[in-house]
Amino acid sequence: MYDTMSRALKTISSSDGAVRIYCCGPTVYRDAHVGNLRTFLLSDLISRTLQMTGLEVTLVQNITDVGHMADDFSEEDKMLAESEKTKVDPFEIARTFEARFHLDLQRLNIQGADSYPRASEKMPQMIAAIEKLIDLNYAYVGSDGSVYFDATSFPTYGALSGNKLEALKPGHRYEFTDEGGKRFHADWALWKLAGARTQMIWDSPWGAGFPGWHIECSAMSIELLDGHVDLHIGGIDLRFPHHENERAQSDSLTGDETVDTWVHGEHLLFEGRKMSKSAGNVVLLQDVIDRGLDPLSLRFALLENRYRSQMDLSWASLEAAHSTLKRWRQLLADSGSGVELKFDQEISDAFTTDLDTPRAMQRIRAIEKDSTIGALDKRALFLFADQVLGLELDRGVESKEPSDEIKALLAARITARAEKNWSLSDSLRDQLSEAGLEIKDGANGQEWSWR
């Protein structure tokens, strides 16, 4: 995998039985959009690839339900801002969106992590980590009573992101909040005093308050992965300041290079634009499902792009993914029911070489077209690839008998077309499509299949 820190490919191995992976999880004050899901899929694809090669994996993914500042650095906590807007208890909001996050993972066939620690339930660990950082002189209590990490105390600060301390300009805000109490502009808060805030605050040796976002990931990864992370995963936007700060904290706490390999996934655009609430173009997995598309067509479309390149997703590519997925499932359904896998060097190499999923998909397409490969072998090769692709290619295609009502609509549409009543034929198509049917008008007249 390409390691952001050394800017080179690194071999992933297990330092202790299983490969210990930490993936930054969702901030649960809203639904994860298809871009967030691209990043969560990345850790699934890597885990599955490692498992394919015979390694075991321990995966931890945190749930940020406190401490994450707003995107725009306005001085608001995301959870509390949403709570203020909707008048719903912040913890209730968090639990609702956490459940929806898990539902999305299931729909995308993402294997569950070994644990999903919630930040709000790891206060003792975070407070202990902050106390230790103060003891070791990496952190200090600022003039406002909040606790800050002293960026200058960590000699290789900036090595991960390339943002060296001397280049970070004073006056620019790298971090949220009234951080008037810090000594140096690049320092960041580990513990913030409650001030006027009354919700989501905890007692601490420095007074009631709440933790900074970055300390959450250090405390949880060190506790749950036993002081060492073989592989750390997140979206590219987290490289700075989140991961740069996490590295400084974790390494100061363990006295060692805590993370072996840092993997960052590039961002997803939708129809050429960055997804944002303000632009109104945020796409959720539910939107994909509401269009009658299989949720795994999102997984399919994401697999066709390398995780390290920025990707532009569109409805057209999701539609295309949906129909190819169906064709592949049909191919497997037609070729028997055995579950034998056949190893393929090229597919294996593609996955293990910095997760080259487009190459694996190309190889599958070539196998599909290759008339010298028998149906059973094709099936076994597809199933081999599906260990990582996770497209449920062996699920079969829906073949249920349509209801009498649907049969009547189909018949009515044949009549409408014979009478050249195109507007009626179109509206019948829409009704059938809503009922889950896909209609094609070919040389043999009207044909239909389940979506």
Q: Which of 71, 68, 77, 81 is nearest to 119 (CA)?
A: 68
Closer CB to ligand AMP, 239 or 413, in the complex: 239
Q: H or E segment at 140?
A: strand 139-141
3-state secondary structure 60-85: EECEECCCCECCCCCCCEHHHHHHHH
Shortest separation between residue 24's beta carbon and ligand AMP, angstroms? 5
The set of long-range contacts for 120-124, using a CB threshold of 8 Å and a minimum separation of 24, is 120/65, 120/66, 120/91, 120/94, 120/200, 122/216, 122/219, 122/220, 122/223, 123/202, 123/204, 123/211
Asked if residue 294 lies in contact with residue 273, where contact means CB atoms within 8 angstroms, the answer is: no
Q: H or E segment at 219?
A: helix 213-224
Q: Is 242 annotated as a binding residue?
A: yes
Query: Distance between CA atoms of 308 and 303, rounded to whole angstroms?
Result: 12
Q: Which of 21, 105, 275, 325 binds ligand AMP (CB under 6 A)?
A: 275
The partner residues of 269 in beta bridges, in order of sequence, read 274, 312
Please tell me whether residue 28 binds Zn ion under the rule CB under 5 A.
Answer: no
Please tell me whether residue 235 binds ligand AMP under the rule CB under 6 A.
Answer: yes
Shortest separation between residue 160's beta carbon and ligand AMP, angstroms? 14
From 166-174, 212-220, 254-262, 400-408, give the range in contact with Zn ion by CB under 5 A: 212-220
Alpha helix (H) residue ranges in 312-374: 315-334, 345-352, 357-369
Q: Which of 19, 20, 38, 130 binds ligand AMP (CB under 6 A)?
A: 38
Shortest separation between residue 288's beta carbon and ligand AMP, angstroms? 15
Please enumerate in sequence order all residues whose Cβ is within 8 A of that of 159, keeping only pairs 6 or more positions apart, or say none. 5, 247
From 29-37, 147-155, 215-223, 283-291, give the range in contact with Zn ion by CB under 5 A: 215-223
Q: Is 24 annotated as a binding residue?
A: yes
Asked if residue 57 lies in contact with residue 51, where contact means CB atoms within 8 angstroms, the answer is: yes
The pattern of x and - marking residues 55 through 74 that bind ligand AMP according to CB under 6 A reads ---------x----------
The partner residues of 191 in beta bridges, in order of sequence, read 147, 211
Please tell me whether residue 24 binds Zn ion under the rule CB under 5 A.
Answer: yes
Asked if residue 110 lies in contact with residue 100, where contact means CB atoms within 8 angstroms, the answer is: no
Q: Which of 76, 131, 237, 346 binds ligand AMP (CB under 6 A)?
A: 237
Q: Report the DSSP pairing between strands 18-23 and 56-61.
A: parallel
Q: Which residue is nearest to ligand AMP (CB)?
A: 235
Q: Which of 4, 35, 82, 437 binds ligand AMP (CB under 6 A)?
A: 35
Q: Which of 12, 19, 21, 39 binds ligand AMP (CB under 6 A)?
A: 39
Closer CB to ligand AMP, 270 or 384, in the complex: 270
Q: Which of 217, 231, 360, 381 binds Zn ion (CB under 5 A)?
A: 217
Q: Is 246 annotated as a binding residue?
A: yes
DSSP 239: I
Q: Which of 52, 59, 105, 268 binds ligand AMP (CB under 6 A)?
A: 268
**Residues at the site binding Zn ion, with contacts judged by CB under 5 A:** 24, 217
**Residues at the site binding ligand AMP, with contacts judged by CB under 6 A:** 24, 26-27, 35-36, 38-39, 64, 234-235, 237-238, 265, 267-268, 275
Residue ranges for the binding site for ATP?
A: 277
Residue ranges for the binding site?
A: 24, 217, 242, 246, 277
Residue ranges for the binding site for Zn(2+)?
A: 24, 217, 242, 246
